[in-house]
Amino acid sequence: MALKIAGVELESRLFLGTARYPSPAVLQQAIAASGAQVVTVGLKRQLAAGGTPNDLKLIRDSGTRVLPNTAGCYTAREAINIAKMARELYETKWIKLEVLGDEYTLQPDPFETLAAARELVNDGFEVFPYCTDDLVLCQRLLDAGCRILMPWGAPIGSGQGIINPTALRTLRARLPGVPLVVDAGIGSPKDAVQAMELGFDAVLLNTAVAQADDPVGMARAFKLAVEAGRLGYESGIMAKQDMAVPSTPVTGRPFLL
Amino acid sequence: MTKTVTLNGEPRDIEPGATLADLIATIAEQPQALATAVNGEFVPRDARAQVQLNEGDAVFTFQPITGG
């Protein structure tokens, strides 16, 4: 079943980040192997004037939709201005809103994120907020006009997987019908499977592929993991039991009457 | 008398009456390949010619990059 995000139908539930790859060629091959239809990109302040780096050209040529981010921002004002620059340069109203509160944990600042989301939504942006797994924050972001939420699995780039599945399960249960994307901290394909089995609509990951020994192989592994996890979720996972339930329908013990 | 602004943190002398568009034209072969902000506020591409730079203004230019 296709995913509908911000009015766009997507076959792939894997969103891929484009940073930290060993080379532009590997990035290009990884995007292709992942089947991703949405890739994240960024903006940086120039040290010297220059043209468009090769990486960006190959991203444009990959046929994917770009989702620019506001990485490096610590205040709503910074993020709002970066978002406007991204809209102009990338010609999209999609923005991954990332407003950080701590330089070690890189966790979102919930207050600045909410303030920025309000203003950006009012300015016509489609805001994809990177947020914590706090239910009330998530609800406030929806109230502010966000149509999608991107709660973290674990700190950015940490590869720790899903640290708080209970919190994510709560979000899924309390926000039915809202597109939910696990963003940040995914480490290996099992984490993507877990996110999809929780009923999340997609996963966004970068480091787990870019920093793998074989990013192209890992991109394919994640493609399969996201598909498997989603199919498992749609197929209705069996209920856990506290004790064993025999499978084979024998009658009693084999040699005792 | 020339004025001094900063461009991406570095001091830069500009002519009196110079606009943001004038400054960008001196540094970029492709002005459309970067985005601009003055004193922390985004200036759209088509507004650069209307923004007159003042002494001490902080001009920043941004370019697309890969990102997560």
- Cα–Cα distances (Å) from A92 to A46, A57, A124, A129, in that order, read 21, 16, 11, 16
CA-based nearest residue to A76, from A103, A100, A102:
A100
Share of chain B above pLDDT 90, in %: 90
User: A43 and B64: CB-CB below 8 Å?
Assistant: yes
CA distance B59 to B68: 26
> Which pLDDT value is given to residue A48?
56
Over residues A210-241, the pLDDT tens digits come to 999 999 999 999 999 999 999 999 999 999 99
Supply the DSSP symbol for B10: E
Chain B residues in contact with A84 by the CB 8 A cut-off are 42, 44
Is residue A49 predicted with pLDDT exceeding 70? no
- Cα–Cα distances (Å) from A6 to A93, A147, A179, in that order, read 10, 7, 9
Give me the interface pTM, i.e. the ipTM: 0.96
The residue length of chain B stands at 68
CA distance A245 to A13: 34
Distance, in angstroms, between B1 CA and closest chain A CA?
Answer: 26
From chain B, which residues contact A within 8 Å (Cβ)?
A: 8, 27-30, 33-37, 40-42, 44-45, 60-68
- The answer to whether the beta carbons of residues A34 and B44 sit under 8 Å apart is no
> Which pLDDT value is given to residue A250?
80
The 10 Å Cβ neighbour count of residue B38 is 18
- The pTM for the full model equals 0.94
Is residue A18 predicted with pLDDT exceeding 60? yes
Please identify every residue of A annotated as catalytic. Answer: 96
Distance, in angstroms, between B21 CA and closest chain A CA?
Answer: 14
